[in-house]
Structure 1
Amino acid sequence: MADTDFNAQVRETILHLLAEANRVPFLFVGSGMSRRYMGAEDWDGLLKWVCENAGSPMKPYFQYKLTAESEGDGKKNTVYPHIASLMERDFLDAINQPKFADWVETHRAEFESGISPMKIYIADHLSSFQPTLMTEELDILRKATRHVAGVITTNYDGLMESVFPKYDVYIRQEDLLFSPLMGIGEIYKIHGSATDPSSMVINER
């Protein structure tokens, strides 16, 4: 089957299901969206980026990954937090390098309040990404605002906020549990947000 035929079939199937449901859909957005429109990494890629950029005494990423896989149950949703926990110990030593001196001073108050330096390092990295790829597709999605009830995303970045700027954003679990949610015009960042590094679900803790 040609790609165009397949795409048309998928489109028709989705339109049929939406018409049958007779309600406005919620979008579930994973790292594929951020990779496509901003060139950002997925969870695995972010952890690898930390290893490659932090420097000594960080080990090559594959060592953390193999250790975590050998110590865990092999499930993706538990292996990455375990990898991050292993990495954090070495990252704390890595930031003693002179190249981190200004960065540490900038974030000292956050570290002293108990926020993980590695989470802040990742959040800073993610803040450099902007939706500059395939912008014509994003423009179409922006125009569909009134046809999208809300967004649930595992991404830390601000892509969805840039697409739906008028939607209310909920980041922390307590926001979801104790806020008067409307169920429409809302973005639920269930793994936290780079705008609040302490909220980011990365390690086992």
Structure 2
Amino acid sequence: MSYEQYKSEITIDIKECLNEMGTQPVLFVGSGLSKRYFNSPNWIELLQWLQNECSYIPHEVGYYLQGDYQLEEIGTEFSQYYRKWAWDGKERFPEELFHPYVEKSSYIKYKIKEYFESITPISEEEINNDIHKAEIKHLKAIQPHAIITTNYDTFLETIFNEYQPIIGQRVLKPDTMSIGEIFKIHGCVNEYKELVFDRDDYELFLNKKKYLSAKLLTFFAEHPLLFVGYSGSDENIQRILSDIDEIISSEGELIPNIYFLEFNNQLMEDSVPKKEKVFVINGKEVRVKYIEAKEFGWVFEAFSINKAIENVHPKLLRALFARTFQLVRSDIPRKSVEVDFQLIERAVSEESGLPNLYGVSLLDDPSQINMKYPFMLTQVGKELGYSNWHGADRLIKQIKSDQGINIKESDNKYHVTIKIGNSERSKYSIDAIELLRSVQKGENYTLDI
């Protein structure tokens, strides 16, 4: 087996996951992606830069790491020295930072803001590496449902300029739409006082992140997830995976919709990297799909296979969702708008009504397909008593193991692939549910292909 074969197998696996879940991916982006494209620092490198800037800090970062300081504890230590440095040299900072009620960590966060603003590209044209330019093109083409990042910089906003950044404490509010948004869970240099940097910041964030945890659970259950820009030992990865721990298989099974992408510059033509990665979270092994690459373009391209129609922008979808949400939650209950309830009732009771109300056209004649193959795989799973599509998918794989036939690879009485533009959707019939129920119960079954 060669690395090219490995790439082909990974690409097929990603495509199958996208088809089965029928939703756009969610991206989890760490500092490694910014480092790749404009040499942004990781956390330790940022602390080293801060130490070099402030002459009041008595020791190098290594001194604190040897003393078993956590990174946020080093941030707390450095914040105190920056405060003293600022008051002894006010010309280094804006005047408003010296008001009595300014947070003492504001000085070091202001310098972090200045640093990232000085190194972050303000447009894609500033990226000179041709390989990186191609990667960014494929990354944009994914058109993810949402992006979650721990990065402080604004590079993602530059790439995904139709997406709405949700910064700091606003991430924790339940009125975000969760489509076409960049959740900056550790803050952003645009609102530098909100950065999650020192021990107090982390404690506050961890105490208030219940809504974020709920959103992560939703993303895990409904979307393919791609982690990129994190190392395997990154504490942020541990925290994120711990948030979804309660719905991770207790038997250590491979989670089929989480992919962890890691850079490896040592890959050769005959390299065959491993396809799984194991994290130990709360004493339990968590197995996810693992991808190694020294060039990310092919991975991003694989995740863009089922991208949304070109002319549908996240900004438009977000606006439509937000206005509908406001109508249902606020305007109609308060009777602040006139409502034609008969029109709305017709719209929601007829298959074509709601799309027509929104100005969306359906396929010319999908009724026969929808009648014969009404189920997505998630719905099949729920009909069989599972909480998601994973259980049904295992039964399909069992049939392939028993009979040598994968019912998803062709159009047949159990399954059909519907193509819409560049996208594909797998649909299943009641015959598929009956077949899988027989497999589930260990009964004899006949495969009619």
**TM-score exceeds 0.5:** yes
State the distance in 2 between where 1:196 and 1:141 align. Answer: 26
Q: Structure 1 residues 94 and 5 mapped into 2: Cα distance closer, same or farther (>3 Å)?
A: farther
Q: Which amino acid aligns with 1:83?
A: I
- Share of identical aligned residues, percent? 26
Q: Which has the higher contact order (CA 8 A, sep 6+)?
A: 1
SS for the counterpart of 1:170 is strand
Q: Which amino acid aligns with 1:37?
A: Y
Match of 1:137 in 2: 135
Larger radius of gyration: 2
- Are the equivalent residues in 1 in contact too, given 2:57–2:78 (CA < 8 A)? no
Match of 2:233 in 1: none
- Are the equivalent residues in 2 in contact too, given 1:92–1:117 (CA < 8 A)? yes
- Are the equivalent residues in 2 in contact too, given 1:111–1:117 (CA < 8 A)? no
Q: Deviations over 1:74-127 (max 9, x none)?
A: xxxxx1111111122222334467xx65422xx220343335211111111011
Match of 1:91 in 2: 82
Match of 1:75 in 2: none
Q: Structure 1 residues 43 and 202 mapped into 2: Cα distance closer, same or farther (>3 Å)?
A: same
State the distance in 2 between where 1:120 and 1:81 align. Answer: 17
Q: Which amino acid aligns with 2:133?
A: T
Q: Trace 1:179-194 onto structure 2 (pairs within 5 A).
A: 180-194=175-189
| Deviating 4+ runs (over 4 angstroms) | none
State the distance in 2 between where 1:199 and 1:164 align. Answer: 22
Report how far residue 184 of structure 1 moved.
0.8
- Unaligned ranges ≥5, structure 1: 72-78
State the distance in 1 between where 2:7 and 2:32 align. Answer: 18
Q: Which has the higher helix share?
A: 1
Q: Trace 1:54-69 onto structure 2 (pairs within 5 A).
A: 54-67=54-67, 69=68
- Are the equivalent residues in 1 in contact too, given 2:171–2:184 (CA < 8 A)? no
State the distance in 1 between where 2:51 and 2:12 align. Answer: 44
Report how far residue 6 of structure 1 moved.
2.8
Task: Tell me if 1:123 matches 2:113.
Answer: yes
- Are the equivalent residues in 2 in contact too, given 1:64–1:87 (CA < 8 A)? no
- Are the equivalent residues in 2 in contact too, given 1:57–1:94 (CA < 8 A)? no
- Unaligned ranges ≥5, structure 2: 201-449
- Are the equivalent residues in 2 in contact too, given 1:119–1:198 (CA < 8 A)? yes
Worse-superposed segment, 18-27 or 176-185? 176-185
Residue of structure 1 aligned with 2:161, choices 155, 160, 165: 165
SS for the counterpart of 1:127 is helix
State the distance in 2 between where 1:111 and 1:165 align. Answer: 35
Residue of structure 2 aligned with 1:109, choices 75, 81, 96: 96
TM-score (norm 2): 0.39
Match of 2:300 in 1: none
Q: Deviations over 1:21-45 (max 9, x none)?
A: 1111111111111111121011111
State the distance in 2 between where 1:39 and 1:48 align. Answer: 15
Q: Which has the higher strand share?
A: 2
Q: Which amino acid aligns with 1:160?
A: L
Report how many residues are paired: 189
Q: Trace 1:31-46 onto structure 2 (pairs within 5 A).
A: 31-46=31-46
State the distance in 2 between where 1:22 and 1:183 align. Answer: 17
Q: Deviations over 1:163-186 (max 9, x none)?
A: 11111111122x133352222101
Report how far residue 158 of structure 1 moved.
0.6
Task: Tell me if 1:82 matches 2:78.
Answer: no
Task: Tell me if 1:195 matches 2:184.
Answer: no
